[in-house]
Structure 1
Amino acid sequence: MIYGIGTDLCDVRRIERVLARKGERFAHKVLGPHELEVWRARSARVPGRGLRYLATRFAAKEAFSKAIGLGMHMPMTWRACEVVNVPGGAPQIRLHGELARWFAARGLKAHVSVTDESDHAAAFVVVEHLPSQP
């Protein structure tokens, strides 16, 4: 059964301006540990790829926060929610700490899709409530 749906559209140029103004502090605020490693590696190779990676993660976390109905309020925090790629490349939500416990206690599972073009990044999240096991 669907618990919630969230979507977000992010202007990559806006993320670029914030990053220029705040530097890595902005990335540290939004990205979890694994995401920071990927962002740094992508930014070192091609700065535009790193920028779009940051924008897609920003959009995905906004969409996830909407799908769970909390917005950016505890236990939902930027760094407690990571969007990682499984070996085949598909994005997947990975939660940490209190948010992970909150999510698991409700028997929820998230599905995420992200995409980007030169000026926009978008994300779509569906959270489902899994039936209880007898």
Structure 2
Amino acid sequence: MPETSAAQIRVGIDLVQISRIAESIERFGARFLRRVYTDGEIDYACSAPTSEGERLAARFAAKEATKKALGLDGVGWRDIEVQRNASGACHLVLYGAARAAAGAARLALSMSHDGNQATAVVIAYE
């Protein structure tokens, strides 16, 4: 039987306590925000102050889930960005080392938050 190349599917998932992100922001302020999030992510999160913590925590979870799905070590947080399209759906954009490491992989993202928890699932497929 001839060999066929099977599609590779990898999954990353992460769960974050929203209060943990809020505590980091309170303790380290703009330094934490600028180290982890892109300007676009910060602008979006801050556009709704009552949802800022949930939005930032979900994006943190998305970045962690992306690193897990792609097996990325040593990649900067800002090399992974969550963007929203015109309909409001979120997708991932990779830069620098993250983009190079991802190769031809395509990414699907799902994020949610409830109570003090934010979660994200990333599926990488070729």
Q: Which TM-score band (shorter chain)?
A: 0.7 to 0.9
Higher alpha-carbon Rg: 2
Corresponding residue SS for 1:87: coil
Aligned residues: 120
TM-score by length of 2: 0.87
User: 5+ unaligned residues in a row in structure 2: which ranges?
Assistant: 1-6
For 1:1-134, list aligned pairs within 5 A. Answer: 1-43=7-49, 46=50, 49-70=51-72, 73-74=73-74, 76-103=75-102, 106-129=103-126
d(CA) in 2 for partners of 1:2 and 1:112?
17
Q: Percent identity?
A: 30
Corresponding residue SS for 2:115: coil
d(CA) in 2 for partners of 1:69 and 1:101?
12
State the Cα distance separating 1:81 from its structure 2 match.
0.4
User: 5+ unaligned residues in a row in structure 1: which ranges?
Assistant: 130-134
d(CA) in 2 for partners of 1:118 and 1:102?
34
d(CA) in 1 for partners of 2:87 and 2:79?
23
State the Cα distance separating 1:69 from its structure 2 match.
1.2
d(CA) in 1 for partners of 2:115 and 2:101?
35
State the Cα distance separating 1:27 from its structure 2 match.
1.2
Corresponding residue SS for 1:79: helix
State the Cα distance separating 1:93 from its structure 2 match.
0.4
TM-score by length of 1: 0.83
The residue type equivalent to 2:93 in the other structure is R
**Over the residues paired in the alignment, what is the CA RMSD in angstroms?**
1.3
State the Cα distance separating 1:16 from its structure 2 match.
1.3
d(CA) in 2 for partners of 1:67 and 1:119?
24
